[in-house]
Structure 1
Amino acid sequence: MFLARQEKDVNHHCSSPHSARMRTHRLLLRAFATFAMVLGMAAAGSATVAADVVMDTVPVGNGPIGIAVAPDGKRAYVANNEDDSVSVIDTGTNVVVDTVTVRDAPEGVAISPDGSFVYVANALDETVSVIDTGTNVVVDTVTVGDTPQAVAISPDGSFIYVANALDDSVSVVDTGTNMVVDTVTVGDTPEGVAISPGGSFAYVTNNFDDSVSVIDTGTNMVVDTVMVGNGPQAVAITPTGTRAYITNTVDNSVSVIDTGTNMVVGTVTVGDDPRGVAITPNGKRTYATNFGDGTVSVVDTGPNVVVDTVPVGNDPLGVAITPTGNRAYVANLGDGTASVIAIDQ
């Protein structure tokens, strides 16, 4: 998520380095927001349960970026970009129970539908590590394109799609053989990928040309290109497959695409520099991490409006939601933690 930007064009769609003054200012804002939230909860009385609050903070590795929760909800896997590892969190206790060494600069994470394998995109190694979840050991390494940043798996588990930021492509990997079987040219600097629930289409965010490429997974051809906001990064698709939500890092918004027409039907203003995005299993809420202000915006997908803002750790990036929809896990790059949000259902 950072590596492609720094290497390809440091002045395009990039945030300037955080100065001490900016960080201090941001921390003060966060502290004030948290204090105000606590006061509001107290004033509401003990009978009121606060919606969407951080219930736990889990120390993980250095520079956590990507995160995914297993289909059974028992484990969360966090890619630690700066120490080339994956932290395995027991979601029952919110304690790291294992650490798996992968390749250089891991970012994106995806888990097979049966929970047997974790796929980790290693941005500086041009590979994907395949972890056996039974042993938490890397059992294979797949060479893909230049600077792989995001990975998504088909609903039947047969293929993974890997967004390669620096060669503007998506690698298609057969999970039976762990071999690349196709390479799809997309837009400029692809950074996010998601596959529709039916498995027919892959949506790829192109960060440098403000678009989303739509790939027909039957032919592995781009069949549509949708213009979205400025600096699109992550994408998530609703459980019904009717909407795709895209974070736009530069204009602080989330674009909503109608997947039937591949047209933008809504734009939601969120926090500063939104990066990761995830949708609850019932499709009612979208969670967008705001890297610039250390929060998560909660979007009601009915009217597409922000209904809550949750302070989390420093520089939040990846976000994943448990299968039951009662917890969201957020990877905080700046402080090496994962925030656990209790979702009010």
Structure 2
Amino acid sequence: MPTPRRFQLSSRCLAVAAIALLAACSGCRRNGFPDVPAGYHEFAYVSNGGSNTVTVLDLVYLRQDRTLRVGDGPTGLAVNPVRNEVYVVNTKSDSVSVIDAETNLVVATIPVHRQPYFISVDDTGHRAYVANSGSNTVSVIDLDQRREIALAGTGEQPGLARISPDNRTLLVTNRGSGSVSIYDVAPYEKSPADRTHILHFRSTFNGCPGATDAVILPDSSKAFVACSGGHQVMAVSLAAAPGSWNAKQNPSLLTDHLLTLLDVGDTPVNLALKPDGGEIFVSNFDSDSISEIDTWNNQVGWTQAIGNKPTHGIVSRDNSSLWVSNFGADSLSLYSIDDGRVASSVHTGSEPDALAFSADEHLLLAADAHSGDVSVIRTQDKTGPTLFTILPAGSMPNAIVTKAFKLKP
């Protein structure tokens, strides 16, 4: 039987020159990981755009589980919150692959439209939304039936489709037209009589060049969009539900409206939202900086240096720590939100990009785009965060998600 992760240290820890210092530090000790119950499984899924595969990493035993052949040019990944499935967008095959996380096999392929890039799953686990960049459309997928059930037009080159937490609003960022499209989403029905009204166009906002990443606040009241072709973030107030307390108090909240454009650094490419929704941290790729946005007041609090070419950020569940991948420095920066400073830096593989936490957040995973592997950072240790090991992936890994579940023994 293989050795669980709390007792195992990959031999690659000694094979990578950047980890040589770990041999002399206490960060390489093999204890400190929490125990897991019988039947517990946890995997990371990495889309490898250059090898048309998804790498599955076992996060209990810290090893590569297998490599799955999917469609061509896989990009976006999403996890179903209520069933053990993972979805892979195949940009060059115009499809979505469905992975059964219990068997780690591809069990279905769902056709969509030209050059899909991103997939968002609602919190019911019944529907997914895919932005089709090459056809200027967004697809609605019924995940029970595993097929497309609705299609709507968007702006030019949509890159991201984000469903709101209340499942009422779909926001699409249109990179080519520098705009944002917003849709009403009909409530889920097992067998809808009229699928043409699942998505209803609501509004559009221009003036956001290179619109890419977007976040929606936990209460579904606002959206913030990175205008990557410039140096701003767009803030939009999202329409309140008819009959809601907010709408009754202020009828103007029944419509979407532009709040402001916020000046940040050059080429904002990623927005990391605190779980409590109070702040957003912007990765400014060409300014080597991050900016903090106060979501309550719609203001930029500060912009400060972080590292070379920051591309992705992720905030801990307790809202205290921000991790940022420095694409140009082969490192991750740990920013202490409570202290307002950069607390630490950890070396990684070459060109770290996408980030994901393990379920208990004892591990942080970074997909290294150039070296084709995944850096595994131990986030909680007496000496501070350390690079624990590096696991192999495929060519040009570009996205990573994790899925944890428990099965009966």
Structure 1 and Structure 2 fold alike (TM over 0.5): yes
* 3-state SS of paired residue (2:297): coil
What are the Cα deviations for residues 265-308 of structure 1, in whole angstroms up to 9, with x where unaligned?
34454454333334344333434444446665454432353545
Partner residue of 1:311 out of 342, 345, 348:
348
1:254 equivalenced with 2:275 (yes/no) = no
Task: For 1:320 and 1:210, locate their aligned partners in 2 and report how far apart those are by CA, in whole Å.
Answer: 26
1:150 equivalenced with 2:187 (yes/no) = no
- The alpha carbon displacement at 1:244 in A equals 0.7
> Which residue number corresponds to residue 222 of structure 2?
201
1:122 equivalenced with 2:132 (yes/no) = yes
Which shows bigger deviation, 331-340 or 66-75?
331-340
> Which residue number corresponds to residue 84 of structure 1?
94
> Which residue number corresponds to residue 23 of structure 1?
none
Which shows bigger deviation, 220-229 or 272-281?
272-281
Which shows bigger deviation, 101-110 or 69-78?
69-78
- The alpha carbon displacement at 1:123 in A equals 1.4
Partner residue of 1:45 out of 24, 29, 48:
29
Unaligned runs of 5+ in 2: 1-14, 35-56, 187-197, 240-254, 371-394, 405-409
Unaligned runs of 5+ in 1: 1-29
Task: For 1:271 and 1:93, locate their aligned partners in 2 and report how far apart those are by CA, in whole Å.
Answer: 39
1:221 equivalenced with 2:206 (yes/no) = no
Task: For 2:20 and 2:401, locate their aligned partners in 1 and report how far apart those are by CA, in whole Å.
Answer: 20
Which shows bigger deviation, 296-305 or 101-110?
296-305
- The alpha carbon displacement at 1:136 in A equals 2.9
Greater Rg over alpha carbons, structure: 2
> Which residue number corresponds to residue 103 of structure 1?
113
Counterpart contact for 1:184–1:220, Cα < 8 Å = no
Partner residue of 2:212 out of 191, 196, 204:
191
Which shows bigger deviation, 318-327 or 201-210?
318-327
Counterpart contact for 2:356–2:401, Cα < 8 Å = no
Counterpart contact for 2:169–2:182, Cα < 8 Å = yes
Which shows bigger deviation, 271-280 or 317-326?
317-326
Task: For 1:134 and 1:169, locate their aligned partners in 2 and report how far apart those are by CA, in whole Å.
Answer: 32
Partner residue of 2:270 out of 215, 234, 247:
234
How many residue pairs get matched? 311
User: Cα distance 1:79–1:270, how it changes in 2: closer, same or farther (>3 A)?
Assistant: farther
Counterpart contact for 1:247–1:254, Cα < 8 Å = yes
In structure 2, give the amino acid aligned to 1:311.
T
Task: For 1:110 and 1:306, locate their aligned partners in 2 and report how far apart those are by CA, in whole Å.
Answer: 32
Counterpart contact for 1:66–1:318, Cα < 8 Å = no
Aligned pairs (5 A) from 1:293-304: 297-304=333-340
Root-mean-square deviation (Å): 3.7
> Which residue number corresponds to residue 245 of structure 1?
281
Give the % identical residues.
Answer: 27
Task: For 1:277 and 1:48, locate their aligned partners in 2 and report how far apart those are by CA, in whole Å.
Answer: 25
* 3-state SS of paired residue (1:82): coil
User: Cα distance 1:340–1:234, how it changes in 2: closer, same or farther (>3 A)?
Assistant: closer
